[in-house]
Structure 1
Amino acid sequence: MPHGYVEGAEEMAEPQLRLVLSDGETGKAHVLDLLTAQTAEVTAAAAGESTATAAAAGESTPPAGVAESPAAPGSSGTAESVREITSDGRYAYLTTGSGTLRVIDSGGWTVDHGDHVHYYRAATRDLGTIAGSPPYDVTGDAAITAVRSGDGTVRLFDRARMDQGELAETGRLAADAVVPYGERLLVAHDGAVQARTRTGEPGTTVGSCADAAGTAVTRRGAVFGCADGALLVTGKDGEFEGVKIRYPRGTREGERARTFLHRPGSSTLAAEAGERGIWVLDVTARTWRLLKTGPAVAVNATGDGTPVLAVTGDGVLHAYDPVTGKETAKARLLAGPPAGAVRIQVDTARAYVNDPAGKAVHEIDYNDDLRRARTLRPGLAPAYMTETGR
């Protein structure tokens, strides 16, 4: 077989960037192809196709400290309402009104080998639902996907079987946060981060992390948000170490970072800092910087040395220098006050902001004074949005 061959997929010469969108109330999910600007609805899985299967050995009793999740309700082929959406680069994960997690294969993804990349496309499809309780955190790599429910239950899924259209659970554990990284599971639990086996068996403690919330994977390592700052975990060949990047003195509990946003591949992270503004975490320099912008409804970091973006409550998009904190550009963007879950998604050249009131998605050139490159009309009010193919 030729290098880069993936069964059931077509290798392409450029990234297959897509947006997965939902209006929220109808529960319908649409995939917007950013190369063609065409939008297609993803049909919900029918009854019998919609629940995750247990490990091959049969449904096992969860380990101590993990609550049994209720069975996911069967689907009739009609989608439930949507309350949140996220992605891992290929799959979109939609939190439904009943609390389950719907999984959609967007059909576009990138495989990064470090010195070169491969771009793929395939048919979009609905893989069904995963039982649990919101809010969900989803992390993964080429081998495993970890889905954490709000009650601390983490369910592990075989990525290869997901790629074949099956949600096959391989194990469970209890954790505050989990990141598959370096052929291990980095697990934050009981105030510490351990490098565990891929099945969750206990391993080496790499650092302390009280009240873990928020994770990110960068080229410099994996990041966990902690009560006193961020824990950066690096390692290879089974050896890991953690370095704490502490908050500046005087940081209050309500100002800590709980969700990190960044361009995939970048080592500059952004996070909301309560009412004060935006945190910028430079993983390379191992420093925090507070941009005193005031409260924002959405933030993201476009890359190392490039603008940090924020949407404020008046519907204006702002760009800030990540080092000085100076505002470098702004643009009135949204048709009305931010509604639903306004998000900023970024890739190597563009940013995307959903505008539910305007029934549009705005494509922004963040390196050209926030120039509006395109206004995309997906045929719905995009209350929820995530980007795939990166």
Structure 2
Amino acid sequence: MPHPASPRRLAPLGALLLVALAGCAAPASPAGDMPTDPSPDTHGEIAGAAELAEPAVGLTSIDGEGHVSHLDLLEETTADLGAVRAPLTMHSDGRYLFAADESGVSVVDSGVWTWDHVDHFHYYRAEARILGDVEGEGIATVATSNSSTTGGTGLFFPGSGEAVLLDTEALSTGEIVETFRLQTVPGAGLVVPAGSFAAVAAGGEVTLHATDGTAVGEAAACTDPAGTITTRVGAVIGCQDSALLITVADEQPVVERIPYPVGATAPRATAFANREGRPTVAAVAEGVGVWMLDTRERSWTLLPTAEPVVQVTAVDDKDANLLALTADGRMLVLDGGTGALRAASAPLVSASLAQGQPVSLIADQQRAYLSGSAEGRMWELDFADGARIAREFTPERTPLFVAETGR
């Protein structure tokens, strides 16, 4: 990906450039780390998609009225993808965007994705489109896997306590198919895909289910479920006293409990973030610092910070970079092993944070992307080069929520 050294502003809306180049990427994953999701030998290909020589990386955003835009970071062109419900929250797996309000979830297919084949990757582009809606009561929590063409996507509606699993393969062909919709207890909850199974966290426990909703295995206790993420090792569910790690062994789901360190008094983790697929994830320890959860080692580490942070994400690269956002809108680059400060940006999103507006902080292997709706801008930052602003974009439609897609 080209990365100009000086800030550049986004051109007016233009057409997306569609390319069709075939190829594989060089190995990028350590041996022994296996995808959580089923991996049929399709390399992530679907009918009508073009395989590319490099990832078609973009920033797909939704504004406060539900208008969806896609910025192609290679061509610096923007396309209007249509409109969805005005979102109160948004979740993305790197291909799909799930925009939620009090009565349901709208699903957007950005049309760009990467297939992780363990020792190399395949990159695709297909038609971007609005797929439709899933109705439900209350602002849904959404949980995705690391595959955009296999497995499932989980939605939990807190108002009704309905737990829904969508067929992700069907999403990849333009259909919304519910493989189950189970009635549980209203309130906080999660539906978390794990290989060809799904875990449902509600009512103080986590139950395991086949894709048709049939219960399998034994339930595990989980008070106040909050926060989930899928790493290369397995699927994580945050509980009051621990994290649950769900893996698949011998074609059966396995649940392991990772308790917080003995004597820990820092606030629990309630949201996890990292560079997609990596084994280590980060979470805010409110008012104290950052929790690091290593799913490969099954261990927590608390990193105190010199000032409170409001959002974090683990790059989990060879330099153990950790990105954090301060209350005054600066992006910090921290040492993920010690918490030491390496670099800091200027206060870029201070107005959004002061007004309680959503702020998106995203990390990939080379860059970070930061957006603020009050500022009406998106920034690409080089975290390995002193948090330098590599590019600056001023989109025609002010983004409320932003996702990096195609990576």
Please give the TM-score of this superposition, normalised by the length of structure 1. 0.83
Deviations 1:34-71 (A, max 9, x none): 22121111123xxxxxxxxxxxxxxxxxxxxxxxxxxx
**Residue 133 of structure 1 pairs with residue 137 of structure 2:** yes
Q: Could you give the per-residue CA deviations for residues 172-200 of structure 1, whole angstroms, max 9, x where no partner exists?
A: 12463222222222233444434321112
Q: Which moved more, 1:270-279 or 1:168-177?
A: 168-177
Deviation at 1:271, TM superposition (A): 1.0
Unaligned runs of 5+ in 2: 1-40
* 1:9 aligned onto 2:49: yes
Distance 1:223 1:273 in 2: 17
Contact 1:191–1:209 (Cα < 8 Å) also in 2: yes
Rounded to whole Å, the distance in 2 between the matches of 1:110 and 1:205 is 34
Q: Which residue of 1 aligns with 2:88?
A: 83
Residue in structure 2 matching 1:200, options 205, 213, 223: 213
Q: Note the C-alpha offset of 1:212.
A: 2.0
When residues 224 and 5 of structure 1 are mapped into structure 2, their CA distance, relative to the original with a 3 A threshold, is: closer
Give the Cα separation in 1 of the matches to 2:139 and 2:363: 23
Aligned to 1:158: 167
2:376 maps to 1:359: yes
Q: Quote the residue 2:81 is aligned against.
A: 42
1:282 aligned to which of 294, 298, 308: 294
1:261 aligns with 2:273: yes
1:110 has 2:114 as partner: yes
Instruction: Using the TM superposition, name which of 357-366 and 237-246 deviates more.
Output: 237-246
SS at match of 1:81: coil
Moved more, 153-162 or 10-19: 153-162
Structure 1 residues 106, 197: CA separation in 2 closer, same or farther (over 3 Å shift)? same
Pair 1:31 & 2:48 matched? no
What are the within-5 Å matches in structure 2 for residues 228-247 of structure 1?
Answer: 228-247=241-260
Equivalent pair of 2:143/2:190 in contact (CA under 8 Å) = no
SS at match of 1:16: coil
Q: In 2 relative to 1, CA 130–5 (structure 1 residues): closer, same or farther, beyond 3 Å?
A: closer
1:306 aligns with 2:320: yes
- Does the aligned pair in 2 maintain the 1:207–1:243 contact within 8 Å? no
> Which residue is 1:334 aligned to?
348
Q: Which amino acid aligns with 1:183?
A: S
Cα distance change on mapping 1:369 and 1:133 into 2, 3 Å: farther
Residues 1:325 and 1:240: Cα distance change in structure 2 (over 3 Å)? same
**Contact 2:144 2:192 (C-alpha < 8 Å) held by counterparts:** yes
**C-alpha distance 159-247 of structure 1, shift in aligned 2 (>3 A):** same
TM superposition shift of 1:230: 1.0
Q: Which runs of 5 or more structure 1 residues have no equivalent in the other structure?
A: 45-78
Worse overlay, 195-204 or 158-167: 158-167
Task: Within 5 Å, give how 1:202-221 maps onto structure 2.
Answer: 202-205=215-218, 207-221=220-234
Cα deviation, residue 333, structure 1: 4.1
Name the counterpart of 1:143.
151
1:369 matched to 2:361:
no
Q: CA deviation at 1:335?
A: 5.6
Tell me the distance in 1 between the aligned counterparts of 2:303 and 2:43: 45
- Please give the alpha-carbon distance, in whole angstroms, between the structure 2 residues aligned to 1:23 and 1:350: 23
Runs of 4+ more than 3 Å apart:
1-5, 189-195, 249-252
Answer yes or no: is 1:124 the counterpart of 2:141: no
1:34 corresponds to which letter in structure 2? L
Separation in 2, partners of 1:301, 1:350: 12
TM normalised by structure 2 equals 0.80
Q: Which amino acid is the alignment partner of residue 21 of structure 1? A: S
Q: Which letter maps to 1:109?
A: W
Q: Secondary structure of the residue that 1:120 maps to in structure 2?
A: strand
Q: How far off is 1:309 after superposition?
A: 1.0
Q: For 1:95, what is the secondary structure of its paired residue? A: strand
C-alpha distance in structure 2 between counterparts of 1:301 and 1:2, whole Å: 30
Aligned in 2, Cα 1:158/1:235: closer, same or farther, shift over 3 Å?
closer
Picking from 182, 188, 191, the partner of 1:173 is: 182
SS at match of 1:15: coil
Q: Tell me the distance in 1 between the aligned counterparts of 2:127 and 2:347.
A: 32
Task: Indicate the larger mover: 335-344 or 364-373.
Answer: 335-344
| Separation in 1, partners of 2:262, 2:372 | 37
**Is structure 2 residue 389 aligned with structure 1 residue 350?**
no
C-alpha displacement of 1:256: 1.0
Question: Which residue identity is paired with 1:124?
Answer: A
1:22 corresponding residue in structure 2? 62
1:65 is matched with: none
CA contact (8 A) 2:45 2:124 kept: no
* Secondary structure of residue in 1 paired with 2:118: coil
Q: What CA distance in whole angstroms lies between the structure 2 residues aligned with 1:220 and 1:7?
A: 29
Q: Which moved more, 1:326-335 or 1:181-190?
A: 181-190
Once residues 6 and 30 of structure 1 are traced to their aligned partners in structure 2, the CA distance between those partners, rounded to angstroms, is 23
Displacement after TM superposition at 1:210 (Å): 2.5
Conservation of the 8 A alpha-carbon contact between 1:345 and 1:351: yes
Change (3 A) 1:4 1:85: closer
User: How many residues are treated as equivalent by the alignment?
Assistant: 353
Specify whether residues 240 and 121 from structure 1 end up closer, same or farther in structure 2 by C-alpha distance, changes over 3 A only: same
16 and 210 in structure 1: CA distance in 2 versus 1, 3 angstrom threshold: same
Secondary structure (helix, strand or coil) at the match of 2:94 reads coil
CA distance in 2, matches of 1:307, 1:355: 22
2:20 corresponding residue in structure 1: none
Cα pair 1:206 1:240 within 8 Å, conserved: no
Contact 1:88 1:138 in 2 (8 A): no
Taking a change above 3 Å as real, the CA distance of residues 113 and 195 of structure 1, as seen in their structure-2 partners, is: farther
Distance, in Å, in 2 between the alignment partners of 1:292 and 1:2 is 44
Q: Is the 8 A contact 2:46 2:173 kept in 1?
A: no
